[in-house]
Homo-oligomer: A and B are copies of this chain.
Amino acid sequence: MSCASEEENDSKLSIWYYGEDKSILGKALLHLTAVEISLDVDADRDGVVEKNNPNKGTWKWGPKGHGAILLVNCDSEWRYAKTLDSEQNFISTDSDLKDMSLMVLRTKGPAKLPEGYKLTMHISQGDAESIRVFMKHYPMMLNSGVLTREVPYVGGSEEVHFYVEGRRFPDKDFNGLISINLSLLEPINQALPETPIFTDKVVFRVAPWIMTPNTLEPIEVFVCSTSDNKKFLQGMRNLVGGSGYKLKICHEYVNRGDRWMQDELEFGYVDAPHHHFPVVLDSPRDRELNNFPYNVLLGPDFGYVTRVPHRRDVSSMDSFGNLEVSPPVTVNGKEYPLGRIIIGVAFPTATKGRNMTKVVQDFLWAQTVQEPVALFSDWLVVGHVDEFMTFVPAPDRKGFRLLLTSPDAGYKLFRGLQRDGHGKAKLFDVLGKNLGIPKPFGPKVNGHCALEAEMCRLMDGLGLKCTFIDDFAAYHKLLGEVHCGSNVRRKAFEFKWWNVEM
């Protein structure tokens, strides 16, 4: 049959049986009903659910790849009395649907299926931990308690819309891939379940959590206001305002004196062809800023994710000043178009050492598109990678420079100035082409600070402007600097993570 039936049994096949002498032995009439069924997703990643993509049942990385994408519904449609949308048992509001991936059941056939035939959607027990399937205005279709459910068949040429929600990020025990099946069942008899005579399958990958390096344009800068950091705040206001970005201040009744905005959270995002939004990774550090990511940041189209350590083995290494990301790099011919995550760790052969807690490291490795690099940072008192390195944008070469602190270079500078002195760590916050730098209070030469002059000379060649911020009393003396006391939410990469060649 070349097309779907308009009515049940509307096609017929006559069969005549002949004897050897060509006499007619009997006749039979076969009644046929044809139904077109296709479970459709956005397998070509253009934001639109196409019809019956031949590759919808598999998933392939790269610009020539294919396979649909799912977001973890980790934001909250509500700003007050909120929970994560993925932890509610219903669709919060219609706006919640855009955080899910549209999946369309397209059918064409008679007004109803032949007696006893039906459609069911089904998922495996393993996948059911990671996704849910909704229909608008209906009870939940599929979840970890309901692996299979009958799907309404609408006669004629119709579409039924489903919404697929991710519930878990890729992690050590979940590679991010899930399948959804739709079967046409044929009745056998009362005592036995129906037999699937046709099954259509679609595959989704849950989008990873992605970090944003300093080369991406800032959107907002977050700092804490405390009773003793007026000078710092003023410096930040000048820098951020002058750069044209938003400054967001976390007031003391929220931060309770915990000024280390860098350490409590890391901004990132999730991205799918149909939708994307920022997602904050909440550190298990959990000092007084503990509730800021959930209570203040989580909201409509602002997601939240965290990992809870198995034991209370949280150290200074779990602060996210110890979690950074490089700009895009190529290593031994392998491209990392979204950069590589940088984690500070203990030296592997040292008998004592502090490490970032395992569940957070596992989470970071499992995202796969920004493969982490572990750097020895435990030699520092605080122990964070942001104490000795940062990336700044540059107009040439790879498009960035890695700035490394150098006590040796500082020492040489002082020697060159024929004065006594000592090395001092320089820490930066990068706001586009404007660097926010801890004011070094160096020796004055001709009325100008020699350290500031040297820093400006070095950065000027890269087209970067330096702003020196007085964080001495409120941050430096507490073993932190400008970077530790601020956090920047940046634009997402133009580059789509699913175009990474794996």
Contacts and interface: CB of A to CB of B under 8 A. Distances in A.
Interface string A345-366: 0111111110100100110000
Contact of A349 (B196, B349, B351): B196
Among A125, A126, A185, find the residue whose CB has the most chain B CB atoms closer than 10 A. Answer: A125
Contact of A351 (B120, B181, B346, B358): B120
Copies in the complex: 2
A314 to B, nearest CB: 14
Interface stretch (A19-27, A53-61, A89-97, A147-155): A147-155
A349 B125 contact: no
A136 interface: no
Nearest to A172: B173
A379 interface: yes
A351 B125 contact: no
B173 A349 contact: no
A461 interface: no
A379 B125 CA distance: 18
Interface string A175-202: 0000001010100000111101001000
A489 interface: no
Interface in A357-397: 358, 361-362, 379
Range of interface residues on chain A? 20 to 34
B125 A185 contact: no
Given A192-B379, A193-B379, A358-B126, A348 B148 contact: yes
A124 B362 CA distance: 12
A349 B379 contact: no
B149 A349 contact: no
A211 to B, nearest CB: 21
A122 interface: yes
B353 A125 contact: no
Contacts of A351: 120, 148-150
Nearest to A352: B148
Interface string A324-354: 0000000000000000000000111111110
Among A120, A148, A149, find the residue whose CB has the most chain B CB atoms closer than 10 A. Answer: A148
Contacts of A148: 348-353
Contact of A122 (B125, B181, B349, B355): B349
Contacts of A191: 379
A141 to B, nearest CB: 11
Interface in A421-438: none
Contact of A147 (B120, B199, B353, B362): B353
Given A355-B125, A361-B125, A349 B172 contact: no
A355 B122 CA distance: 14
Nearest to A185: B349
A349 B126 contact: no
Contacts of A185: 349
Contacts of A352: 148
Contacts of A196: 348-349
Contacts of A350: 120, 148, 193-194
Among A120, A122, A129, A196, find the residue whose CB has the most chain B CB atoms closer than 10 A. Answer: A122
A150 B361 CA distance: 26
Given A172-B173, A353-B148, A348 B122 contact: yes
A286 B449 CA distance: 75
A358 B126 CA distance: 7
Given A172-B173, A192-B379, A379-B192, A183 B122 contact: no
CB-based closest 4 A-B pairs: A173-B173, A193-B350, A193-B347, A183-B349
